[in-house]
């Protein structure tokens, strides 16, 4: 007998098609959806104040999905938890001069933790999502996270912080499929998504700039000085939240060669800039590492992805302690950014990941 499977329904084509495929394959399927408090396209101001998910406008959208799929969809109010675990992490990272990746946190702390436990409380044995990744189980029960077959849609990077236990309870029906085929299946079966947001979008920004996000929350950044790599003051900035590592736009300091952001010095409210060659790094540190499959010994040779759109680069990882490591790249990498996730691959398999730290 196939296990009862809950599908995380976002309202997009991927999650809808994942649910459809499981149902067609004879699985006992139910849907679950979590409210973040940032569903601005479905909510008004009064809706944001209520803690009653059954009165939330998103519930009406989920009923449309229920009718299309022929399965029940339960709605979980995660506004408090999403604010604590994801939004506050995002804000704190920026205030500390790091560039956050909230999707990495949301997948491990919300979807495959709080939402998974909620699904289990409803009788489900596992949680399926529309991620383009694959999972392989060994005979001994060890779970392996693999890249999705569609190289343009592979989302294994975003799941690198799942624990072995979370991965064992996960299901990825789209892992062997290409996006074009998923869209075709949805159209042939009359599935009409209520949102077209891609999974890698930051859901609580909703197309606004980071500047607007902070200003809306009365988080104010002070103007400060722009300093070159030699310590010379060359201009002024309007707030460090306008910048990220590797950025060229907005520095507005005349020079023979363009300036690029090298560091956000939040302690002294300074923007440190240099030339393009100064952005290349051969070594970086990773902290708070999560091992899905921990190597038996170090150092190891693998490939490391330092942001979602980065091509994994050959590197050697040396363990510093249980939760930290040094990453040495075979060739220098551009814009190694503190706060981003460094994800470790051996072939097509994700073995773990950590947060890039400031210390080189």
Residue-level pLDDT at 256: 94
Helices 13-24 + 57-69 axis angle, to 10: 40
Predicted confidence at residue 175, as pLDDT, reads 98
Q: Out of 78, 103, 106, 284, which one is annotated catalytic?
A: 106
Catalytic residue among 78, 103, 171, 203: 203
Q: What is the pLDDT of residue 47?
A: 41
Q: Scanning the structure block, which residue is given the tokens 């995002």?
A: 90
Q: Which of 135, 133, 117 is nearest to 125 (CA)?
A: 117
Q: Which residues have CB under 8 Å from 349's CB, separation 6+?
A: 144, 145, 146, 147, 293
Give the pLDDT mean for 256-285.
96
Inform me whether the pLDDT recorded for 48 exceeds 60: no
Q: Class of the 221-274 domain?
A: mainly beta
| SS3 category, 236 | strand
3 contact partners, CB below 8 Å, separation of at least 6: 27, 28, 125, 126
Radius of gyration of the chain (CA): 22
- Whole-number Å distance between alpha carbons of 211 and 90: 13
Q: What is the fold, at CATH topology level, of the domain defined by 5-188?
A: Rossmann fold (3.40.50)
Average the pLDDT over each of 26-30, 37-41, 100-104, 173-177 and give the range with the smallest value.
Answer: 37-41
Identify the helix (H) or strand (E) that includes residue 79. helix 79-82
106 tagged catalytic:
yes
Position 40 scores a pLDDT of 58
Per-residue pLDDT tens for 181-206?
999 999 999 999 987 655 445 788 86
Cα–Cα dist 140/104, whole Å: 27
∠40-122-114 over CA atoms, to 5°? Answer: 50
pLDDT at position 51, please?
40
Domain limits, the chain: 5-188, 221-274, 280-356
- In whole angstroms, what separates CA 306 from the centre of its chain? 12
Per-residue pLDDT for 285 more than 80?
yes
Would you state the pLDDT for residue 43? 42
171 an active-site residue?
no
With a pLDDT cut of 70, the percent of the chain lying above it is: 92
Average pLDDT over the chain reads: 92
pLDDT for 204 equals 85
Res. 277 pLDDT band, cuts 50 70 90: very high
**pLDDT greater than 70 at residue 207:** no
CATH superfamily, domain 280-356, is Translation factors (2.40.30.10)
Claim: this prediction has a pTM higher than 0.85:
yes
Grade residue 360 by pLDDT with cuts at 50, 70 and 90. low
DSSP one-letter string for 278-322? GGEEEEEEEEEEEESS--SSSSEEEEEESSTTSPPEEEEEEEEET
């Amino acid at each position: 007998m196939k296990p009862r499977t809950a599908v995380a329904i976002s309202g997009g084509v991927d999650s809808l098609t994942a649910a459809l495929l499981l149902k067609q394959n004879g699985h006992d399927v139910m849907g679950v959806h979590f409210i973040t408090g940032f569903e601005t396209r479905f909510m008004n101001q009064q809706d944001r104040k209520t803690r009653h998910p059954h009165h939330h406008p998103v519930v009406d959208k989920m009923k449309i999905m229920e009718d299309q799929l022929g399965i029940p969809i339960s709605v979980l109010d995660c506004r408090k938890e999403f604010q604590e675990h994801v939004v506050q992490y995002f804000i704190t990272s920026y205030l500390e001069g790091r560039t956050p990746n909230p999707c990495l946190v949301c997948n491990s702390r919300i979807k495959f933790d709080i939402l998974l436990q909620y699904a289990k409380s409803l009788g489900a044995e596992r949680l399926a999502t529309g991620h383009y990744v694959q999972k392989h189980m060994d005979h001994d029960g060890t779970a392996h996270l693999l890249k999705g077959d569609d190289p343009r849609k592979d989302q294994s990077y975003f799941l690198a912080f799942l624990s072995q236990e979370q991965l064992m309870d996960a299901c990825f029906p789209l892992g062997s499929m290409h996006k074009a085929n998923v869209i075709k299946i949805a159209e042939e079966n009359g599935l009409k998504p209520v949102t077209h947001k891609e999974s890698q979008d930051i859901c609580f920004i909703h197309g606004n700039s980071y500047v607007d996000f902070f200003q809306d929350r009365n988080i104010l950044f002070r103007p400060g000085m722009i300093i070159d790599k030699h310590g010379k003051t060359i201009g002024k900035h309007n707030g460090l939240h306008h910048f990220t590592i590797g950025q060229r736009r907005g520095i507005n300091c005349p020079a023979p060669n363009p300036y690029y952001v090298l560091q956000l010095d939040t302690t002294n409210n300074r923007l440190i800039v240099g030339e393009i060659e100064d952005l290349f790094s051969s070594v970086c540190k990773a902290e708070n590492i999560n091992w899905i499959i921990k190597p038996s010994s170090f150092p190891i040779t693998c490939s490391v992805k330092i942001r979602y759109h980065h091509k994994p680069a050959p590197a050697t990882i040396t363990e510093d302690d249980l939760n930290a490591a040094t990453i040495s790249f075979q060739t220098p990498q551009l814009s190694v950014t503190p706060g981003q996730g460094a994800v470790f691959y051996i072939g097509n398999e994700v073995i773990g990941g950590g947060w890039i730290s400031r210390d080189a």
